[in-house]
Structure 1
Amino acid sequence: MNQEVVKRDIRNLSPAEIKTFLVEHAEPAFRAKQIAEWLWIKSAVSFEEMSNLSKTLREKLQAHFAINAIKIDQSQFSADRTIKNTFKLYDGNIIEGVLIPTTERMTACVSSQVGCSLTCKFCATGYMERKRNLDPAEIYDQVVLIDKQARENYGIPLSNIVYMGMGEPLLNYANVLKSVEYLTSEEGLNMSAKRITVSTAGIAKMIRKLGDDNVKFNLALSLHAANDKKRNEIMPINEQNSLKALAEALKYYYLKTKNPVTYEYIIFNDFNDELEDAVELAKFCKHLPCKVNIIEYNPISFASFTNAEEDKTEAFANYLKKQGIITNIRRSRGKDIDAACGQLAVKEK
C-alpha cells in the first residue's frame, strides 16, 4: 500500500536551507529572498500565488514542499464585537484564537499549543490534554487571519498581539520566539515588539532565559495568588516554581531587559479577594517595576469558582493603588461566546 509522503512545510526551513534547495535544483539562490517575501510579508498560502517565480520553479517547490496554512473552521460573534475563531490545522487538530476590539486597540489573542499540560483549575484549556506545540508559522497564521478579520469587520488593522490563548508559551519557547521574529521583522509583518505580550503561568528557568535572550516584547505573569499555599491549590505548576523562585527569575529578567512586568490576577469570590490577599500581592509587587491587571473570573463548566463581589474588587484595586502600584480592573470580553479569559477549549464532537 502506497503511503503518501508528508511534505515538509517550506516555512519550517531556514533561509540557508531554501538556498541550498534552489542551488541543488539549478535555480538561482536569489530566489530565496523572493520566496521569503511571499511567505512572510505577503502571507501566501500556495506556491501558485508566487507570480514572480517561474512556473518551473513553482512546480519544483510544489513537488517537494507544502504550505500548511491554518484555516478558519468557524467564527462566533459576541454582542460586544469580540470574534472567537476555531482554527483547523493541517493535521486536523483544532485551536482557538480571538479578536478583541476596544476603543483604544484591536487585539489578537493567539494560541501557542494544541491543548495545555498545566492543569490550572480555573481554566478550560487546562482540562484538555496537550497534543502538540504549534509551529512558528501556525502562530503567525493566526495573526494574519485575525488581522484580516479586523480589517474586514471593523476597518481597522491589528494593533496588539497577546499570547494568551491555548497553551503555555514558555513550554513552546523556541517556536514562540521564532513566531515573534516573523511578526516583528522587516522581512515579516514589521509589527512593534512593544505591542506584543507573552503570558506565562510561571516557569522560572524560562523567564531567566527570556532575560538572557534580551527579548523586546512584554511579559505577563498569570499570578492569581501571592501566597504559595493558595497558588499551589489552583496552579499545580507553582509546586515546582514557587513565588520565591519566580520573584528571583523576574528580577533577573528585569535586570537584563529593563522591561516592567504585568501581573494578571483573576479575582475569585472568597478565595483571593480579601484585603490580606491584596497586602500579599503588594509585597510581591515590590520586587521590580510592574503593573497589575485585576481580571474578572469567567465561569467554566469544569470548576465551581465564581467572580468576586464588585465592592471587594474595587477595595482590592484601591488598596494596590494606594501602595503606588499601577492597577487596572479588566472587564471580560466575549463571555457570551466562551471567548473570554480562561474559557478557550475545543468542544469534543
Structure 2
Amino acid sequence: MKKEKKDIRSLTKEQLRDFFVSIGEKAFRGNQVYEWLWSKAAHDFDAMTNLSKEVRQLLEEHFVINHIQVDEMQRSNDGTIKNAVKLHDGLTVESVLIPTFSRTTACVSSQVGCSLDCQFCATARLKRMRNLNADEIYDQVVAIDQESRLYNGIPLSNIVYMGMGEPLMNYKNVLASIEKITSPEGLGMSPKRITVSTSGVPKMIKKLADDEVKFNLAVSLHSAIDEVRTQIMPFNASFPLKDLKESLIYWYQKTKRRVTYEYLIWKDINDKPKDIAALVEFCKAIPCKVNIIEYNPIDDGAFQQADAQVTSAYQRALEQAGITVTVRRSRGKDIDAACGQLANKSSK
C-alpha cells in the first residue's frame, strides 16, 4: 500500500531537523528546508538548490507542499486585484489586493465559507466548509505581495484578515499564520501592519488579549442597538453587545491598543438619529476609531447604501464626541471585490 505523504509545512523546524537526523543526514538540513518553505516561500522541492539531488528526492518521497494556486485573477479599473485561490483539495477562497497612494493592503480569507450568518454578506450564503490552514493563509499573502510588486512596483505594506470567514472561529491557524508572516524566519512583517477583523466573539477577543498578541483588532459593528444588530447579524443574539463591550474593555486594559469599529450604514436599517447616538455612546467605553465603509449591494434586496447626508451626520456626531472617524470609499466594485462581496462566483 502506498504511503500517504505528509504535509511538510505542518512540521516545526525541530521536527524537520529530527527527520533529517532519522535518515542519517545532518540536522542543519532541517533549518535549510524551513528557510525555503517560510522565508523564500518555495512551492516545490526542486527549487531548494542548496540541497543535493538525493536529499530533494527523499523529501519528494516523504512529503508534499500543499501550495495554493491563483485560479483566476481579476483587475479592477481602480487597481484592485481579486484572486480566486484554489486550495489543494479543490475548494476555492478569494483574496484581494487594495492599492492606495499610501499603502498596499492584502485582504485575506481564513475560512472556506463562513459559520456566521450576517444578512448583508455574500460569504455568509456559503456554508462553512472548513478552516484554512496557516500555510494557506500565508500563501495568499505571498501571492498578493508578488502581484503588488509586479503591477505596482512596491511590496505589500498591510494585511487585513477581512476576507471570507470569521478569523476568530479559526483561532489557532490564524495566529499560526501571523506568526509565520511576522517571524524573522518567515516574511518578517511587523505585526503593527496586520489587522484581524472579527464580527465580535467576546470569549475569543479576551483570549487574544490573554495571548498578548501584537497585531491590531477591528470589529464589524454596524449597529450599537441589540435589536438592530441581531436583525442584521443574527449571532448577536448569542453574543450581545454588553458582552462584546466587556470583552473590548478587557482587550484595552490588557493591550492598551485602541480598537477600530467597521461600520456600514444602510437605508431604513441604521440611519436614524437613535442609531448615531447609540454608536457614540458605545464608542465611549474605550479609545477607538470608527471606519465608515461604503456598502456594496450583493443583490437588489433590503440592504441599500444610506444617503450621503446620513454618513455626514454620523461623521459630525462622532467628531463632536472626540472620536476619530474615517469614511472609506469602496474599491473593486466592478469585480465584486468590495467589502461583503466575496463569494466565489468563480467556483462552480
Band of TM-score, shorter chain:
over 0.9
Q: 1:118 and 1:5 mapped to 2: Cα distance? A: 38
Structural mapping, 1:130-145, within 5 Å: 130-145=128-143
Task: State the 1:7 CA deviation.
Answer: 2.2
Deviant stretches of 4+, over 6 Å: none
Residues 1:314 and 2:312 aligned together: yes
Superimposed CA distance per residue, residues 48-76 of structure 1 (whole angstroms, 9 cap, x where no aligned partner): 11111121111111111111110110011
Structure 2 match to 1:124: 122
What are the ranges of 5 or more consecutive residues in structure 2 without an aligned counterpart?
none
Task: State the 1:297 CA deviation.
Answer: 1.1
Q: How many residues align?
A: 347
Superimposed CA distance per residue, residues 191-222 of structure 1 (whole angstroms, 9 cap, x where no aligned partner): 01000000000100000000000100000000
Q: Which moved more, 1:278-287 or 1:298-307?
A: 298-307
**AA partner of residue 201 (structure 1):** S
Q: 8 Å contact 1:84–1:97 — kept in the other structure?
A: yes
Q: 8 Å contact 1:121–1:303 — kept in the other structure?
A: no
SS of 2:84's equivalent? strand
Q: 8 Å contact 1:202–1:237 — kept in the other structure?
A: no
Structural mapping, 1:35-74, within 5 Å: 35-74=33-72
**AA partner of residue 34 (structure 1):** Q
Q: 8 Å contact 2:121–2:298 — kept in the other structure?
A: yes
Q: 1:170 and 1:294 mapped to 2: Cα distance? A: 22
Task: State the 1:301 CA deviation.
Answer: 2.4
Q: 2:340 and 2:261 mapped to 1: Cα distance? A: 16
Structure 2 match to 1:183: 181
Structural mapping, 1:283-294, within 5 Å: 283-294=281-292
Structure 2 match to 1:230: 228
Q: 2:6 and 2:308 mapped to 1: Cα distance? A: 52
Paired residue for 2:191, among 190, 193, 204?
193
Superimposed CA distance per residue, residues 235-285 of structure 1 (whole angstroms, 9 cap, x where no aligned partner): 112111110001111111111111110000111111112221111001111
Residues 1:88 and 2:86 aligned together: yes
Q: 1:177 and 1:217 mapped to 2: Cα distance? A: 10
**AA partner of residue 208 (structure 1):** K
Q: Which moved more, 1:50-59 or 1:166-175?
A: 50-59
Residues 1:334 and 2:328 aligned together: no
SS of 2:115's equivalent? coil
Structure 2 match to 1:172: 170
SS of 1:269's equivalent? coil
Q: 2:303 and 2:258 mapped to 1: Cα distance? A: 30
Task: State the 1:107 CA deviation.
Answer: 0.4
Q: 1:251 and 1:315 mapped to 2: Cα distance? A: 27
SS of 1:197's equivalent? strand
TM-score, normalization: structure 2?
Answer: 0.98
